[in-house]
Protein backbone atom coordinates (compact mmCIF):
# COMPACT_ATOMS: atom_id res chain seq x y z
CA UNK A 1 0.00 0.00 0.00
CA UNK A 2 1.50 3.37 -0.95
CA UNK A 3 1.75 6.31 1.44
CA UNK A 4 -1.43 8.30 0.73
CA UNK A 5 -1.45 12.05 1.41
CA UNK A 6 -4.55 14.18 1.11
CA UNK A 7 -3.53 17.54 -0.34
CA UNK A 8 -6.15 20.27 -0.01
CA UNK A 9 -6.69 23.95 0.78
CA UNK A 10 -9.64 24.73 3.04
CA UNK A 11 -11.15 27.95 4.38
CA UNK A 12 -12.26 28.17 8.02
CA UNK A 13 -15.91 27.70 6.99
CA UNK A 14 -15.05 24.45 5.20
CA UNK A 15 -15.10 25.82 1.64
CA UNK A 16 -12.71 24.11 -0.79
CA UNK A 17 -14.29 25.12 -4.11
CA UNK A 18 -16.70 27.32 -6.00
CA UNK A 19 -18.13 26.67 -9.45
CA UNK A 20 -15.55 23.93 -10.05
CA UNK A 21 -12.59 26.14 -9.22
CA UNK A 22 -10.64 27.37 -6.22
CA UNK A 23 -12.43 30.39 -4.73
CA UNK A 24 -9.09 32.15 -4.06
CA UNK A 25 -5.77 32.79 -5.74
CA UNK A 26 -2.96 32.14 -3.28
CA UNK A 27 0.42 31.92 -5.08
CA UNK A 28 2.20 30.48 -2.02
CA UNK A 29 -0.32 27.62 -1.90
CA UNK A 30 0.20 26.86 -5.58
CA UNK A 31 3.97 26.59 -4.97
CA UNK A 32 3.35 24.42 -1.90
CA UNK A 33 0.97 22.19 -3.87
CA UNK A 34 3.59 21.70 -6.56
CA UNK A 35 6.28 20.88 -3.99
CA UNK A 36 4.24 18.26 -2.12
CA UNK A 37 2.76 16.56 -5.21
CA UNK A 38 5.82 16.60 -7.49
CA UNK A 39 7.00 13.16 -8.53
CA UNK A 40 3.97 11.29 -7.18
CA UNK A 41 0.79 10.15 -8.93
CA UNK A 42 -2.19 12.40 -8.17
CA UNK A 43 -5.62 10.86 -7.68
CA UNK A 44 -8.61 13.10 -8.30
CA UNK A 45 -12.20 13.16 -9.42
CA UNK A 46 -13.26 14.08 -12.93
CA UNK A 47 -14.39 17.60 -12.00
CA UNK A 48 -11.07 18.31 -10.30
CA UNK A 49 -9.20 17.08 -13.37
CA UNK A 50 -11.34 19.28 -15.62
CA UNK A 51 -10.67 22.30 -13.36
CA UNK A 52 -6.89 22.06 -13.83
CA UNK A 53 -5.28 24.49 -16.26
CA UNK A 54 -3.85 21.48 -18.09
CA UNK A 55 -1.69 18.49 -17.27
CA UNK A 56 0.63 19.29 -14.38
CA UNK A 57 4.21 18.32 -15.23
CA UNK A 58 6.07 15.70 -13.22
CA UNK A 59 2.93 13.97 -11.96
CA UNK A 60 0.62 11.26 -13.26
CA UNK A 61 -3.08 12.15 -13.32
CA UNK A 62 -5.34 9.30 -12.14
CA UNK A 63 -9.01 10.22 -12.43
CA UNK A 64 -11.71 8.35 -10.53
CA UNK A 65 -15.05 8.52 -12.32
CA UNK A 66 -18.24 6.49 -12.55
CA UNK A 67 -18.70 7.46 -16.21
CA UNK A 68 -17.63 4.38 -18.20
CA UNK A 69 -17.10 6.41 -21.38
CA UNK A 70 -15.05 9.28 -19.91
CA UNK A 71 -11.54 9.69 -21.32
CA UNK A 72 -9.09 12.58 -21.48
CA UNK A 73 -5.61 12.91 -22.94
CA UNK A 74 -3.01 12.41 -20.23
CA UNK A 75 -5.45 10.93 -17.70
CA UNK A 76 -5.46 7.38 -16.43
CA UNK A 77 -9.02 6.34 -15.60
CA UNK A 78 -10.07 4.35 -12.54
CA UNK A 79 -13.56 3.27 -11.52
CA UNK A 80 -12.89 3.20 -7.77
CA UNK A 81 -10.44 3.41 -4.89
CA UNK A 82 -8.80 0.02 -5.37
CA UNK A 83 -8.32 0.49 -9.11
CA UNK A 84 -6.84 3.96 -8.59
CA UNK A 85 -4.35 2.67 -6.02
CA UNK A 86 -3.42 -0.27 -8.26
CA UNK A 87 -2.75 2.16 -11.12
CA UNK A 88 -0.70 4.41 -8.85
CA UNK A 89 1.58 1.68 -7.51
CA UNK A 90 4.75 3.15 -6.04
CA UNK A 91 5.53 4.48 -2.60
CA UNK A 92 3.37 7.59 -2.36
CA UNK A 93 0.20 9.08 -3.80
CA UNK A 94 -1.40 12.53 -3.52
CA UNK A 95 -5.21 12.67 -3.33
CA UNK A 96 -6.14 16.18 -4.46
CA UNK A 97 -9.94 16.27 -4.55
CA UNK A 98 -12.72 16.94 -4.80
CA UNK A 99 -14.51 16.50 -1.53
CA UNK A 100 -16.13 13.16 -2.43
CA UNK A 101 -12.78 11.66 -3.51
CA UNK A 102 -11.10 12.92 -0.33
CA UNK A 103 -13.85 11.31 1.76
CA UNK A 104 -13.38 8.00 -0.09
CA UNK A 105 -9.60 7.94 0.45
CA UNK A 106 -9.46 9.43 3.97
CA UNK A 107 -9.83 6.04 5.75
CA UNK A 108 -6.72 4.81 3.88
CA UNK A 109 -4.70 8.02 4.05
CA UNK A 110 -1.53 8.28 6.11
CA UNK A 111 -1.13 12.08 6.03
CA UNK A 112 -2.74 15.42 5.20
CA UNK A 113 -0.98 18.36 3.57
CA UNK A 114 -3.55 20.97 4.51
CA UNK A 115 -3.49 24.64 3.65
CA UNK A 116 -5.74 26.39 6.18
CA UNK A 117 -6.97 29.76 4.98
CA UNK A 118 -7.69 31.89 8.05
CA UNK A 119 -10.85 33.39 6.61
CA UNK A 120 -14.27 32.34 5.43
CA UNK A 121 -14.73 31.94 1.69
CA UNK A 122 -17.74 32.01 -0.60
CA UNK A 123 -18.16 28.59 -2.19
CA UNK A 124 -20.32 25.61 -3.02
CA UNK A 125 -18.00 22.70 -2.20
CA UNK A 126 -17.29 21.92 1.45
CA UNK A 127 -15.04 19.55 3.37
CA UNK A 128 -15.07 18.83 7.08
CA UNK A 129 -11.77 19.38 8.88
CA UNK A 130 -9.64 16.33 9.67
CA UNK A 131 -10.99 14.56 12.76
CA UNK A 132 -8.57 15.31 15.66
CA UNK A 133 -9.24 11.85 17.10
CA UNK A 134 -7.80 10.29 13.93
CA UNK A 135 -5.16 12.88 12.97
CA UNK A 136 -2.38 14.64 14.87
CA UNK A 137 -0.67 17.82 13.76
CA UNK A 138 3.09 17.36 13.36
CA UNK A 139 4.02 20.63 11.66
CA UNK A 140 2.54 24.10 11.11
CA UNK A 141 3.93 27.10 9.25
CA UNK A 142 1.87 30.29 9.70
CA UNK A 143 1.88 33.04 7.08
CA UNK A 144 0.42 36.53 7.59
CA UNK A 145 -1.97 38.31 5.27
CA UNK A 146 -0.03 40.00 2.51
CA UNK A 147 -0.63 41.68 -0.85
CA UNK A 148 -4.40 41.30 -0.51
CA UNK A 149 -4.16 37.56 0.27
CA UNK A 150 -5.61 36.18 3.52
CA UNK A 151 -3.44 34.75 6.30
CA UNK A 152 -2.94 31.00 6.02
CA UNK A 153 -1.06 28.05 7.49
CA UNK A 154 0.55 25.01 5.93
CA UNK A 155 -0.33 22.11 8.24
CA UNK A 156 1.01 18.56 8.11
CA UNK A 157 -1.03 15.89 9.89
CA UNK A 158 -0.19 12.22 10.46
CA UNK A 159 -2.63 9.44 11.31
CA UNK A 160 -2.90 9.14 15.09
CA UNK A 161 -2.08 5.76 16.56
CA UNK A 162 -4.67 4.20 18.84
Q: How crowded is residue 10: how many other Cβ atoms within 10 Å of its Cβ?
A: 24
Calpha distance 41→88 (Å, rounded): 6
Do residues 105 and 6 lie in contact, with contact meaning Cβ atoms separated by under 8 Å? yes
Task: State the total domains in the chain.
Answer: 1
DSSP 60-85: -EEEE-S-TT---TTEEEESSHHHHH
Q: How far apart are the first and last CA of the chain?
A: 20
Q: How far is the CA of 70 from the CAs of 44, 58, 114, in angstroms? A: 14, 23, 29
- Given a cut of 70, is residue 16 above it in pLDDT? yes
82 in a domain, yes or no?
Answer: yes
**CA torsion sign, 16 to 152 to 32 to 146?**
positive
72 in a domain, yes or no?
Answer: yes
Mean of per-residue pLDDT scores for the chain: 96
20 in a domain, yes or no?
Answer: yes
138 in a domain, yes or no?
Answer: no
Q: Which domain does 21 fall in, by range?
A: 3-111+120-130
- Given a cut of 90, is residue 162 above it in pLDDT? no
- Given a cut of 90, is residue 161 above it in pLDDT? no
pLDDT in tens, 38-88: 999 999 999 999 999 999 999 999 999 999 999 999 999 999 999 999 999
47 in a domain, yes or no?
Answer: yes
> Looking at residue 38, which CATH number applies to its domain?
3.40.430.10
pLDDT in tens, 82-138: 999 999 998 999 999 999 999 999 999 999 999 999 999 999 999 999 999 999 999
36 in a domain, yes or no?
Answer: yes
148 in a domain, yes or no?
Answer: no
Amino acid sequence: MPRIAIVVARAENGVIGKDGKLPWHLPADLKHFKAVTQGAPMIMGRKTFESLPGLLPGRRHIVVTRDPLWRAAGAEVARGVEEALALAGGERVSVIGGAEIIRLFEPLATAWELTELHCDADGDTFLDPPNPQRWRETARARHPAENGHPPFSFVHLERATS
